[in-house]
Structure 1
């Protein structure tokens, strides 16, 4: 089936639900979440087998968490018809579907990205066509087929969600040109292609989060948070901690705590050099090591470590362009760099993102000092600064106030139009009905009176 035929089928499906109420739209949100929740295990197993990326147990949790948290967030929100009234301003807001959404999804999240995008899309009565990563086409297709069955079971058109078979760059480009809105989740090349399509687009930039450990924060807790932030799904999350900056006088104690939670820490320059050589070739990450278990990466560098090791930690001396290990690794590896004063740590975090990548995406800070939180928030150019929690929580779990999302905008820093998590409100057009206000007329000559 051609891209145009899929667009036509999506528009026919939209026509069939144009008069759906809020309750009917919400029923489809629930049905799509429930069926993926119930199939979380086989989909996780298939994703690991097909892509070779990530960890089976973690993918199960991603599938169940996305389904449950997204639904819990969306269930009480208004997205159909009148969604808000502001009597004091005489404004009535009305939501309208944007139409057919084209979504380009990555191999790293072959189930949760299509699911999350669809839940946000159908919340506003939109249709969506998914162009999957070729490496994950079967997992994404199975995911979409399950959702299609859930729609049919609710007497809704299955073509509200479709998948592009045999996805290619050419097909993705055509989809982006012919749909009404683009969701592009992937690298900078994909984002540029989305913006160049001539269609309104939300793109996301690459991640590479730095995290600052402040002097007043408990080291045992910091080690636990770091383990989760780096090890989740074998480090393939774009918002996973890649650089941990710590006070130099706490190095020995911090490293001890990292070892206690199961990390293997490499301090010797020669050892770290071996990882540098194994991970990067010609300035680019070795694709065969992306998303692999820690012991596999260690073996490639010439080390034998316990197979159950979740995270590797490498002490470095340079930062930014002076250290290639500061680039996004997309593996269960965190690089460690000491600082003298807090302001220096903030400067290093900024330098690293500007020179090594990840600007605009996500950062983290572990501290009990509110002034330091504000200082970091004002200085570090990221759309999300996570405080005292793993940086992957940037996706918006129930434990913070960020909206649940599978696409995390990076603002103009990351060449994106949006510096927020993409959610259902970004997938509707909002009309504002403006009523006349009973106010005194503005006297222009009084405005600039000294």
Structure 2
């Protein structure tokens, strides 16, 4: 087994060659990575489910395919090396340089997709990259990198441009964090905290806990269908998946009926809800035994009898400030809260985000722009999806403006260094050349302070 020192030395040697590649060559390598994941999406999905025991093959296949397609569509045609912008009006030239060697710590929930996104963005900018996978996903992660390298070999890309730590450990991951030029950390809070404590430039993510507010002017059947589709996608392990629905009190029963008619198993009785609470959480976080499991597995674990057709479990909050259902649930379980007016809806969402998920994502189902803007201005989140499922939208699609990514920054709200969707620009050094514009009129002090 190669030592980390050897891996990093090999990466730096490869990157020194790769840094001189043309834009066309960089793009060809980035495209090859995306196409490799697209073509092997189902096989890698099967491997991920078999190894991690999380999610389901159909949705992981779709996730691998759609994300590879969306990321390449976004990267295609964008300049990422050499002169990328000439601002004649202000006398500025911007030149892009690689960061160098990127370290990427990847999760067990979406191993292949996250690796693919990080590698495509790294190569787009002329970087080498070393992957430190979650130990529970080390086999599928190594296989993903092997498939990627097979395609890069066809392009005669430098050897060791993309590498994977095949026997990952906390010690090796920490050593990698302290040794690379820039670090991308996608995973749990403890790991992200370690990344920011590494002493190297880092991009981490915060926990998700998506609050979904229903306005009074929407079709509840349509909204319920979208929420359910997103919540049960890959058995609910996506961080941008809807977690709590906050619905109008005057239409409460109508909304509940919309959900139950489309596959939600509704729990209102608080004794039954307490059984779910007790089973679902361990030390304030989702019980590891239930992460990425389907409704039937969860029901059996809890001791509930739910129909085979149930897609999600919808449980009414007890309204208490300490209700654990206010937190993130990494499985197809939704909590429901009722509001009297928009101010109360905002207050509920804020309280839930203080428990977990501050800075990440919220969803609003509304056709009233004034309400959307009011909610958006009040909530401490980096992105808000409108009339769509969070897990199927804010990571970027071909029909919205969110940058396609597998890593969602949570800004200063979530103790992150960025509030953006991570992309190739975060793996570049941008150099600015500035010319004095002697012909440019200089305003007087009176004009400046007027």
Q: Deviations over 1:263-282 (max 9, x none)?
A: 11111112211111211244
- State the SS of the aligned residue for 1:190: helix
- State the SS of the aligned residue for 1:385: strand
The answer to whether the aligner puts 1:367 opposite 2:366 as a matched pair is yes
User: Structure 1: which 4+ aligned runs deviate by more than 3 Å?
Assistant: 281-284, 441-448
Q: CA shift at 1:189, angstroms?
A: 1.5
Contact 1:149 1:158 in 2 (8 A): no
Q: CA shift at 1:446, angstroms?
A: 6.0
TM-score for the superposition, normalised by structure 1: 0.97
Alpha-carbon distance in 2 for matches of 1:70, 1:362 = 20
Alpha-carbon distance in 2 for matches of 1:213, 1:283 = 27
Query: Which deviates further from its counterpart, 264-273 or 206-215?
Result: 264-273
Q: CA shift at 1:14, angstroms?
A: 1.1
Contact 1:134 1:166 in 2 (8 A): yes
Match of 1:353 in 2: 353
Query: Which deviates further from its counterpart, 272-281 or 176-185?
Result: 272-281
Alpha-carbon distance in 2 for matches of 1:280, 1:383 = 26
The answer to whether the aligner puts 1:265 opposite 2:266 as a matched pair is yes
Q: CA shift at 1:307, angstroms?
A: 3.5
Q: CA shift at 1:214, angstroms?
A: 0.4
The answer to whether the aligner puts 1:106 opposite 2:136 as a matched pair is no
The answer to whether the aligner puts 1:59 opposite 2:63 as a matched pair is no
Q: CA shift at 1:196, angstroms?
A: 1.2
Against the structure 1 CA distance between its residues 47 and 226, is the aligned structure 2 distance closer, same or farther, given a 3 Å change threshold?
same
Alpha-carbon distance in 2 for matches of 1:171, 1:253 = 53
Contact 2:218 2:367 in 1 (8 A): yes
- State the SS of the aligned residue for 2:160: helix
Alpha-carbon distance in 2 for matches of 1:199, 1:146 = 29
Match of 1:424 in 2: 424
Contact 2:19 2:127 in 1 (8 A): no
Match of 1:304 in 2: 305
Query: Which deviates further from its counterpart, 295-304 or 40-49?
Result: 295-304
Alpha-carbon distance in 2 for matches of 1:81, 1:186 = 33
Alpha-carbon distance in 2 for matches of 1:341, 1:74 = 43
Contact 1:234 1:310 in 2 (8 A): no
Q: CA shift at 1:16, angstroms?
A: 1.9
The answer to whether the aligner puts 1:397 opposite 2:421 as a matched pair is no
Against the structure 1 CA distance between its residues 159 and 312, is the aligned structure 2 distance closer, same or farther, given a 3 Å change threshold?
same
Contact 1:346 1:380 in 2 (8 A): yes
Alpha-carbon distance in 2 for matches of 1:445, 1:342 = 45
Contact 2:218 2:365 in 1 (8 A): yes
Structure 2 alignment gaps of length 5 or more: none
Contact 1:40 1:63 in 2 (8 A): yes
Match of 1:344 in 2: 344
Q: Deviations over 1:167-186 (max 9, x none)?
A: 11110110011100000111
TM-score for the superposition, normalised by structure 2: 0.97
Aligned length: 447
- State the SS of the aligned residue for 1:394: coil
The answer to whether the aligner puts 1:136 opposite 2:132 as a matched pair is no
Match of 1:208 in 2: 209
The answer to whether the aligner puts 1:334 opposite 2:334 as a matched pair is yes
- State the SS of the aligned residue for 1:295: helix
Q: CA shift at 1:353, angstroms?
A: 0.4
Match of 2:278 in 1: 277
- State the SS of the aligned residue for 1:233: helix
Q: CA shift at 1:53, angstroms?
A: 0.5
Contact 2:285 2:328 in 1 (8 A): no
Q: CA shift at 1:229, angstroms?
A: 2.2
Q: CA shift at 1:441, angstroms?
A: 3.7
